[in-house]
Amino acid sequence: MPPLLLNEDTVSTISDGADQMGSAINTVATTNLIIAIVMGGTAQQLFGMIRLIQILLLSAIMAIVYPAHLTLFYSFCVSFAGMDVLQGATLWEATF
């Protein structure tokens, strides 16, 4: 079967974007699951969040262009999700 995309740059760009989006989605899903468990969220709210994450992931794969304010909001969300509030590496070294 011939490859779907012939341009290697496009393939690498899509692959890098998918990896970054996957890690961001994983972080958001894990955080939301923990918050839902702690705050006693219902299963309906949890599945609603999963649906939202799926929509965001699929829209990124389809290369939908977002307005500037939404792109800025998403960039803040991704940077917030990546914060290490408890300084995990230092805590790990001190504990173990």
Render pLDDT for 40-89 as a digit per residue (tens, 0 to 9): 667 677 778 788 878 877 777 777 777 888 888 877 777 676 676 667 77
Residue-range domain boundaries for the chain: 8-95
Position 95 scores a pLDDT of 80
Which tens digits make up the pLDDT trace of 7-22? 777 778 877 888 888 8
pTM: 0.35
Burial 61-93 (b: 16+ CB within 10 A, else e): eeeeeeeeeeeeeeeeebeeeeeeeeeeeeeee
Q: How many C-alpha atoms does 34 have within 13 Å on its Cβ side?
A: 6
